[in-house]
Structure 1
Amino acid sequence: MKEILTHINGIPIRKNFMGILPYNPDLKLLLSGKRKAKILGEVSFWQRVRAHTFHKIDFDRQRIIGNYIVDFYVKRLGLVVEIDGWSHDFKEKYDKARQDYLESLGLKVFRISDFDVKNNLDVVMKDLESFIIKHYAY
């Protein structure tokens, strides 16, 4: 029987432990710079999910998985949240390869635009709830 992580809109959400994921320690040096960059969309999203404030779910910020640094990661779900800003406009192949790699590890990837986070954060949070329910409902 799967353990329940939380409930969203009365719907039980099951834990989905991923275990140990690949980790490139060479990327650790980049983490503090990325966190200090204070990208508005990431900061706004972080304020909504930090400290278990979003349905008591624990989000990590700037997590290394393999040769990538993902924006946000939920270990107990195996969920990656990526906020795509203008720097992604010309990186379709890179983003596709990255997403394919993450999904090959069994992770689910929720992608949102930086514009939507800045201008429609309440809608983004509802979309995230729907995504979690779709993929992790008991």
Structure 2
Amino acid sequence: MPHRKVPPHLRQNARRMRSAMTEAELKLWNELRAHRLMGLSFRRQMPIGRYIADFACPEHKLIVEVDGSQHADNETYDQARTRFLEGQGWQVIRFWNDDVLNDIDNVCTHILRLVGRGEL
């Protein structure tokens, strides 16, 4: 995958977002970081094009988004964002905060199924 230069404002936003993660994002990151989920390598708050993905697994071109209630009001933006990312070859999956906070095992199982790693 070619490495593209990230504009300074996007890099700064990604850094800010990494230090201000939501409770649900932190919980999922604790499952994904350091190859804890079946050896998969995830990056958090990764700039892709003009967007910042919550979690990205470059090896499998998979983006995992964790959405709070504010996303119910931003459906048009989220759809455009997803179309752009999919146009770049990424698969985007979304989980609601409540799913991550209350059913992390099934969230992780779903991620593993998508990359062909089976069950936990």
Q: TM-score, normalised by structure 1?
A: 0.78
**Any unmatched runs of 5+ in structure 2?**
none
Deviation string, structure 1 residues 80-138 (Cα, Å, up to 9, x no partner) = 1111112211011100000000000111112111110011111111111222229xxxx
> Residues 119, 56 of structure 1: CA spacing in aligned structure 2 closer, same or farther, 3 A cutoff?
same
Count of aligned residue pairs for this structure pair: 116
Shift of 1:22: 5.5
Shift of 1:36: 1.4
C-alpha distance in 1 between matches for 2:2 and 2:76: 27
Shift of 1:21: 6.2
Deviation string, structure 1 residues 33-90 (Cα, Å, up to 9, x no partner) = 2111131111000000110111111100000001100000111111111111122110
> Residues 97, 24 of structure 1: CA spacing in aligned structure 2 closer, same or farther, 3 A cutoff?
farther
C-alpha distance in 1 between matches for 2:71 and 2:20: 16
**Any unmatched runs of 5+ in structure 1?**
1-18
Alignment RMSD (CA, Å) = 1.6
C-alpha distance in 1 between matches for 2:103 and 2:46: 25
Aligned equivalent of 1:84: 67
Aligned equivalent of 2:107: 124
Aligned equivalent of 1:74: 57
Structure number with the higher helix fraction is: 2
Shift of 1:20: 2.3
Query: 5 Å matches for 1:101-112?
Result: 101-112=84-95
Helix, strand or coil: the match of 1:100?
A: helix
Give the share of equivalent positions with the same residue, in percent. Answer: 34
